[in-house]
């Protein structure tokens, strides 16, 4: 299989796009560390993989906590002896409000999870991947990491930061065997989208040129492709997966 004897970490892997990525990576032969704060769903995700004959472990991980991140990567090394891929997917929607009305505690939490969490994860993952002979990292940006939407400034700011740090890190490690890219999903049918659109996904699909919402597995397939040798000459790219939204508004 494509990822036979490879090891991957997926943060935010207990639900939504993260869970779909866990399933897709496992189906391609990878052993997967599921890193999440949702212990119940994380353990269930690992069991789902094992029930299908795959290999997965759950590791409780708050990506805003540097110690948790170090332990997450160490888990991969102690259990499997290597780390080949990482999908830094953990995120939150943040608070919906005008910028001047945002509560800084909420803003800081969004930044801790989606900016610092991705940055610190890469800091821990890159040396481990290099020691394993090279590999790939995919970060979760967003269509709103390439464009903007009012009243969600913490989320927009964080996702723009992810797009920027992805490109910066890609340049730094391009000659060192670590490819680093990001996916930028548009509206995808996940719990996060349903909360953000108040359980009315039709409102979201109306903005998409393809006139439908994406499926989590469509993003997961792109993540797996960016980790695979089929994308071996691609690094520093932020890939929209959005049914044409970026082409229309970008």
**Quick one: three-class SS letters along the chain?**
CCCCCCEEEEECCCCHHHHHHHHHHHHCCCEEEEEECCHHHHHHHHHHHHHCCCEEEEEECCCCCHHHHHHHHHHHHHHHCCCCEEEECCCCCCCCECHHHCCHHHHHHHHHHHHHHHHHHHHHHHHHHHHCCCEEEEEECCHHHCCCCCCEHHHHHHHHHHHHHHHHHHHHHHHHCEEEEEEEECCECCHHHHHHCCCCHHHHHCCCCCCCCECHHHHHHHHHHHHCHHHCCCCCCEEEECCCHHHHHC
Statement: residue 142 has pLDDT above 90: yes
Each residue's pLDDT tens digit, 76-119? 999 999 999 999 999 998 888 999 999 999 999 999 999 999 99
User: How large a percentage of the chain has pLDDT more than 70?
Assistant: 94
Q: How far apart are CA 85 and CA 138, in angstroms?
A: 8
Q: Which residues fall within 8 angstroms of residue 57, CB to CB, at 6 or more apart? A: 31, 32, 33, 34, 46, 75, 79
The whole-number pLDDT of residue 197 equals 60
Determine whether 173 is an active site residue.
no
- Delimit the domains of the chain by residue range: 7-249
Q: Sheet of 85-88: strands edge to edge?
A: 55-60, 31-36, 7-11, 85-88, 135-140, 178-185, 238-241
Each residue's pLDDT tens digit, 35-45? 999 999 999 99
Catalytic residue among 19, 119, 155, 173: 155
Statement: residue 196 has pLDDT above 80: no
Residue 189 contacts residue 216 (beta carbons within 8 Å): yes
Statement: residue 164 has pLDDT above 80: yes
Residue 190 contacts residue 216 (beta carbons within 8 Å): yes
11-26 average pLDDT score: 98
Question: Which CATH number applies to 7-249: 3.40.50.720, 3.90.1640.30, 3.10.450.50, 1.20.1540.10?
Answer: 3.40.50.720
Statement: residue 250 has pLDDT above 80: no
Q: What mean pLDDT is reported for the chain?
A: 94
The whole-number pLDDT of residue 206 equals 79
148-177 average pLDDT score: 96
Q: How confident is the model at residue 200 (pLDDT cuts 50, 70, 90)?
A: low
């Amino acid at each position: 299989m494509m990822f036979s004897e490879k090891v991957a970490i997926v943060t935010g892997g207990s639900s939504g796009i993260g869970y779909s990525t866990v399933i897709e990576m496992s189906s391609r032969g990878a052993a997967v560390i599921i890193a999440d704060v949702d212990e119940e769903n994380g353990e269930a995700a690992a069991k789902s993989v094992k029930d299908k004959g795959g290999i997965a472990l759950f590791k409780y991980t708050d990506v805003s906590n540097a110690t948790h991140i170090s332990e997450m990567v160490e888990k991969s090394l102690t259990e499997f002896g290597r780390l080949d891929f990482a999908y830094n997917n953990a995120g939150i929607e943040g608070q919906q409000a005008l910028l001047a009305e945002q509560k800084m505690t909420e803003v800081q939490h969004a930044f801790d999870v989606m900016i610092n969490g991705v940055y610190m994860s890469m800091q821990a993952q890159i040396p481990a991947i290099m020691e394993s002979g090279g590999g790939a990292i995919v970060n979760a940006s967003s269509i709103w990491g390439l464009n903007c939407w009012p009243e969600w400034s913490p989320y927009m700011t964080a996702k723009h930061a992810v797009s920027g740090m992805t490109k910066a890190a890609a340049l730094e490690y391009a000659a060192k065997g670590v490819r680093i890219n990001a996916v930028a999903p548009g509206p995808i049918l996940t719990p996060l989208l349903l909360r953000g659109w108040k359980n009315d996904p039709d409102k979201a699909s109306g903005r998409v040129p393809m006139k439908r919402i994406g499926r989590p597995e469509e993003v997961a397939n792109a993540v797996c492709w960016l980790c695979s040798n089929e994308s071996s000459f691609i690094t520093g790219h932020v890939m929209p997966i959005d049914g044409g939204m970026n082409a229309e508004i970008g």
